[in-house]
Structure 1
């Protein structure tokens, strides 16, 4: 044992960079200064300029933010995009009907003219970024309140956005980093004409369902294909039949050679949110108050939806996307509770903060940092119950349509009722469109039960003050009767009644409407800023910023990068196996096979069914050029990259800048990854690009799409 410890210590001292290199989500503009040499040692063959350049084509030009919450990559010079099936899920469901159910059956356009346009989908191309920290921070001083500080910063941000938008051609976003200690601006070009090109059926794209979500081994074909369209000159344009596929200057070659253990892998994408700098008591609040409320409310929502979805195929289609989103977060939050508890993450953070406190009380640091930790701890102690309350309320507003809809429409109806005839004529088209949109695709019995069940949990599980409307004992004692009665009495129960209001507007009728009153009370409560917390939140915000600043100055924190916040980042690592697992038939536990997928197959099962053609192709072993050296068709593989939500759909790229896979999930053992990175457990689960192209080629017979790709296969494979 002593010899083993000495050996491990020697390895640690000799190869510290190799052990921890996979931690971090890095700015592309800092690659040369911070990471390039590490990446070269691990197998990168590109220069920093080939990854990020303003003046010439580079890797960043092939990466887009997909619909604000995912990532996609450009894989042809005709604007073809590859992203996850679950990222395109909402658009695919929207384009589906009972007769043409693309979500369940898949869809493959055989011509540009057959590519389908969903409503509102957009992608965002990254143009450039720069550091404006000095400029912005020169406008603030330590004596400002947080509100005054925010106002001064926002004023300067507005100027920066105007300066770089080029008259509205570009979207400019200025973001804060390191809790407001640094600022960068990002320039983007948005394209709103994005069309569905191809998707496998749900039984492939979501194979394993909720059971396999966040688990390994996986066998999921989680991908879909879209295309960006532009006007004839290559400019972003609203949807038009005259638009053409966007001619892109850079796209990713697709390498179908395959991967091996220790192969270099980098991921570029738009990670949504990490909390690596979160204080100890913030972690404790999430684990004991916020996340349990979220988990309970989410599971309740899923149970109500599933009850009606199982009874009616059309209802299933209506709620498929919402169910998938809530189910994903439900499992994520429960996994976070388990992982953060098991890792004792709050305890680890407290130790760091204790060291910080000692540093903060040194004479040269006292004036700035002395009360930082105590102020932060006081804030969390005072907001624990509010956090529990807010999460029960948040999940109700997310899952119950009629907790939000009456307020959304009611505000417009109020303005309409108060206006003169001329103003009403002006408002009418917008209101009509809103009503049409919000009353689309819902099932009233489901929505009644959803609101009723969510109200029961919300009113009974929190000690934080409820909206006054819900403090009535008779309501709390019989939520079912209350909910039934307000739906019976409300005009918002039906689209027809709301449309009738437009013909005969009556302010008194609106203000006395029970669903409008409930919805307004819930949303006002959600937005409430209690007076007794104003100063406490001001002090907390300042102290959190100073904590991060002090941890960086003192070098007490091992974290050297800013938290993710939906800006383009690069993470790098290697193909890396988990310990041997009897559930995986693959030769190394860093990939899975078609054989393993068929072993999971359960006919007519909602999660583990497979199309007949898939089984036929498996029996025929018709894997073509996509098989590995052992004649297997690889399905998914593992890397140790650092990713989080928002990286869904991100390309996995080899050292030559070629596409080898598509990130879609993480392993549940490392679920604490948003807060603390575990280099031993952290894994990214990826769709092998060979499986993606095989599905397009062999399963779908979509040769037109395959012909667009730049396929690469190394001779030594």
Structure 2
């Protein structure tokens, strides 16, 4: 394979001057060459070395990935961690009971001894990264099939991991960028004893609910506070009562100054996934096939859950986190359909592809790039309906986690029959523990409805369902509720008494004929083996060449790789939406206040209720040092930073690197932002750190938590 003409390193020297501050999710190791000067002109008072250094403490040491899906930051010498309420939602729900409902009522530990330990929660610190593009490309060649290419990549990745893990001390991840044209490795350290310090009540942390999700104006106190613990020597450790609070290498100072429009703002975090390099064919497929199926399947699952959640607070706690996740994606995918259509994103992509076609037709480019667009078009024309089919099935598994969990459980029981007595006892105990956790966090009638409703949707809407499902559909005459009820009544895995009965009288035939395991295996096989390998190989090669060609030809103006849950920095400024996008009457469109929040207050409403104490404190103007200089308490504000899912909980920092807020959402007007950046409308919605501090200190009375922080007037 030819050497890349442009790598990220050479790009640092060649980046055009018209790269805008607001667009881009940038690697920290290239800030010195690529971004430092521009950032400082915009208001940064730090150097690139202050943000990212391998040998010295820098801001990156205070940023963590939170439980694998969000971002958080260290805000005290004793390891306080702050992130979004919705990022901690699952952990908080897991700690809650009907008698001690921390989701509904909030919680603040009065002492470290009262901090609560969730069953599973970890944070990941970023240590360093490096470029291994030349090394990885040296083991690849154009004649390889995609399978051979992947095998060679994995072999080299294993070597890099072994070289950098220091015997298991670090987690090493090698990731590809620019669709497999560049490679970097990342070294992390995981800490697994993370405890809940405090959370506001849900009426604060989720104020506005699904109605306000992705909307501006917002008034959401989307934060929660945790603490990282280590062993007595400061090393990562599993939970132990003997563990001590982490002695943080670096923690963020917290600003009380507030923000003004046009103030510099930067965000460090772990954006999950963007698709800025995709073709028009991809956009068309998602808008017409993939996303509509996702929306319909998510809504089906939400409806099945909600009727049970509305009838019981205990059930609501069990499903709160799953429901919130589905609701978020449901609104996101519908917003994507609307935004990509309104912005004519596919047409914009086609204009760029027309230029690419002319460039690829040149004699010097024809051999490598001549068939790229045709190969892309062929792939998507053959997989459009399949995209819908897969998403119906994907949401089935998302809404019914037992359907995927039962497969490894069944494999374990297969081994049971050939195991020794000691092994059988160990397997029995392990399986019983695992399933007991499932029974505790679910409600059987809801599980039956979720299974039935989403399976029925898939069976009726998919154009390619397995033969076994066709037979079930005919046998039960489309009555999937009756089928699901029988499955959950008979399966070894769905009830504690069924599992106990199996162990009392183990039967290979009973396991072989288990209705849940059987259907789950059928659907899993369908989900994982639907695509023609040759067709996929053709697409992977074409897309890789397309991205390389778009960069080499300079047709694409994008100068950064797609997000993929690696640490990035985005910078811009505090910025209002355009005047024609304002939909409420306030003095400013870049922030909201306690007063405007009261305008949404609806007593008893599950989305817009608020604590009665809030009203009393507002009337008494008990804002103290957290009030803005205008005398009001600011709640949320807007910046034009470039973020996506995974940035939830990311610290928003001023030019001095001080914490001014937490990123928690984007805006519906720019919902297509994962695919195409909208320089006029793209916004990040931020919870003002002063509102966070007011909620902790003045409202909740947890001043001891705020006292741990270094507040900057």
Q: 1:173 to 1:402 in 2, by over 3 A?
A: closer
Is the Cα contact below 8 Å between 2:309 and 2:315 reproduced in 1? Answer: yes
Change (3 A) 1:476 1:540: farther
Q: Which deviations, in whole Å up to 9, do the C-alpha atoms of 1:28-70 show, x marking residues without a partner? A: 0010111111111100010010000000000100100000000
Relative distance call for 1:298 and 1:397 in structure 2 (3 A) is: same
1:440-480 CA-partner distances (Å, limit 9, x unpaired): 22111111111111121111112124353434523453323
**Cα shift readout 1:620-660 (whole Å, capped 9, x = no counterpart):** 11110111122110000000000000000000000001000
C-alpha distance in 1 between matches for 2:319 and 2:499: 23
Q: Which residue pairs with 2:375 in the alignment?
A: 375
Matches within 5 A, 1:135-150: 135-150=135-150
Check whether the contact 1:456–1:476 (CA below 8 A) recurs between aligned residues.
no
Provide the residue aligned with 1:37 in structure 2: 37
Q: Provide the rounded CA distance (Å) in 1 between the counterparts of 2:215 and 2:191.
A: 35
Mapping for residues 311-390 of structure 1, pairs under 5 Å:
311-390=311-390
Distance 2:382 2:280 in 1: 15
- Contact kept, 8 Å, 1:584 with 1:596, in 2: the verdict is no
Summarize the Cα distance change of 1:18–1:662 in structure 2 as closer, same or farther, 3 Å threshold: farther
Query: How far apart are the structure 2 equivalents of 1:31 and 1:145?
Result: 36
In structure 2, how many angstroms separate the alpha carbons of the residues matched to 1:81 and 1:585? 36
Gap regions ≥5 residues in structure 1: 1-15
Once the two structures are superposed, residues 202-250 of structure 1 have per-residue CA deviations (whole angstroms, 9 ceiling, x without a partner) of 0000000000000000000000000000011111111111100000121
Q: Distance in 2 between matches of 1:312 and 1:393?
A: 28
Specify whether residues 79 and 334 from structure 1 end up closer, same or farther in structure 2 by C-alpha distance, changes over 3 A only.
Answer: same
Q: 2:536, 2:461 → 1: CA distance?
A: 25
**Residue 486 of structure 1: how far off its partner (Å):** 2.6
Aligned partners of 1:636 and 1:685 also within 8 Å: yes
Per the alignment, do residues 86 and 100 of structure 1 end up closer, same or farther by CA in structure 2, a change over 3 Å counting? same
The match for 1:690 is: 690
SS in structure 1 at match of 2:139: coil
* Stretch of structure 1 that moved more, 446-455 or 703-712: 446-455
**What stretches of structure 2 of length at least 5 have no aligned partner?**
1-15
In structure 1, C-alpha distance between the alignment counterparts of 2:288 and 2:582, rounded to whole Å: 34
CA distance in 1, matches of 2:664, 2:234: 30
Match of 1:600 in 2: 600
Q: Do the aligned residues in 2 keep the contact of 1:23 with 1:677 (CA within 8 Å)?
A: yes
Query: Are residue 629 (structure 1) and residue 629 (structure 2) matched?
Result: yes
Question: Which residue number corresponds to residue 302 of structure 1?
Answer: 302
TM-score, normalised with respect to structure 1: 0.95
Q: Which residue matches 1:550?
A: 549
CA distance in 1, matches of 2:583, 2:19: 28
For residues 426 and 64 of structure 1, do their structure 2 counterparts lie closer, same or farther at Cα, with a shift above 3 Å needed?
same
1:446-595 matched pairs, under 5 angstroms: 446-472=446-472, 473-475=474-476, 477-530=478-531, 533-580=532-579, 583-595=583-595
Corresponding position of 1:9: none
Deviation at 1:343, TM superposition (A): 0.8
Aligned residue pairs: how many? 696
User: What displacement does 1:513 show?
Assistant: 1.7
CA shift in 2, pair 1:194/1:101, >3 Å:
same
Structure 1 residue 410, shift from structure 2 partner: 1.8
Once the two structures are superposed, residues 486-539 of structure 1 have per-residue CA deviations (whole angstroms, 9 ceiling, x without a partner) of: 333333331221133233221101111222211221112111144xx1111011
Residue number in structure 1 paired with 2:269: 269
Whether the 8 Å CA contact 1:467–1:521 is kept in 2: the answer is: no
1:658 matches 2:658: yes
Give me the whole-angstrom Cα distance separating, in 2, the residues matched to 1:343 and 1:582: 19
**230-239 or 433-442, which moves further after superposition?**
433-442
With over 3 angstroms needed to count, the CA separation of the structure-2 counterparts of 1:170 and 1:401, relative to structure 1, is closer
CA distance in 1, matches of 2:185, 2:67: 20
Superposition deviation, residue 332 in structure 1: 0.3
1:252 aligns to what?
A: 252
Is 1:81 the counterpart of 2:84 in the alignment? no
Q: Matches of 1:258 and 1:18 in 2, distance apart?
A: 30
CA distance in 2, matches of 1:636, 1:699: 17
Distance 1:19 1:620 in 2: 48
Structure 1 residues 416, 175: CA separation in 2 closer, same or farther (over 3 Å shift)? Answer: same
Q: Does 1:23 align with 2:5?
A: no
1:119 Cα offset (Å): 1.1
| 1:434 alignment partner in structure 2 | 434
- Report whether the alignment pairs 1:225 with 2:230: no
Partners of 1:401 and 1:447 within 8 A in 2: no
Cα offsets for 1:580-614 (capped at 9, x unmatched): 46654542100000001111110111000011111
Provide closer, same or farther for how the CA distance between residues 164 and 498 of structure 1 changes in structure 2, counting only shifts above 3 A: same
CA separation in 2, counterparts of 1:158 and 1:467? Answer: 40
Aligned to 1:4: none
Task: Measure the CA separation in 1 of the matches of 2:33 and 2:558.
Answer: 17
Query: CA-to-partner distance for each residue in 1:143-167, whole Å, 9 max, x for gaps?
Result: 0001000100110000000100011
> Counterpart in 1 of 2:4?
none
Q: What displacement does 1:19 show? A: 8.3
How far residue 198 of structure 1 moved from its aligned partner, in angstroms, is 0.7
More off after superposition, 409-418 vs 185-194: 409-418
Retained in 2: the 8 A contact 1:118–1:195?
Answer: yes
1:113 CA drift (Å): 0.5
Is the CA contact 1:223–1:692 (under 8 Å) kept in the aligned structure 2? yes
Partner of 1:676: 676
Shift of 1:372: 0.8
Deviations 1:518-561 (A, max 9, x none): 1221112111144xx11110111011101001100000001110
**Structure 1 counterpart SS, 2:641:** coil
* TM superposition shift of 1:579: 2.9
CA drift of 1:416 comes to 1.4
SS at match of 2:440: coil
Query: What is the aligned partner in structure 1 of residue 59 from structure 2?
Result: 59
Deviates more, 1:575-584 or 1:556-565: 575-584
- The CA distance in 1 between the partners of 2:672 and 2:575, in whole Å, is 19
Task: Give 1:174 shift.
Answer: 0.4
- For the residues of structure 1 that align with 2:448 and 2:429, how far apart are their CA atoms? 29
C-alpha separation in 2, matches of 1:421 and 1:502? 13
Deviation at 1:73, TM superposition (A): 0.5
Is the Cα contact below 8 Å between 2:25 and 2:642 reproduced in 1?
yes
CA distance in 1, matches of 2:20, 2:568: 17
SS in 2 for 1:493: coil
Partner of 2:9: none
Residues in 2 aligned to 1:594 and 1:585: alpha-carbon distance in whole angstroms? 14
1-structure distance, mates of 2:569, 2:102: 33
**Structure 2 partner of 1:8:** none
CA distance in 1, matches of 2:263, 2:467: 56
Range 396-405 or range 672-681, more displaced:
396-405
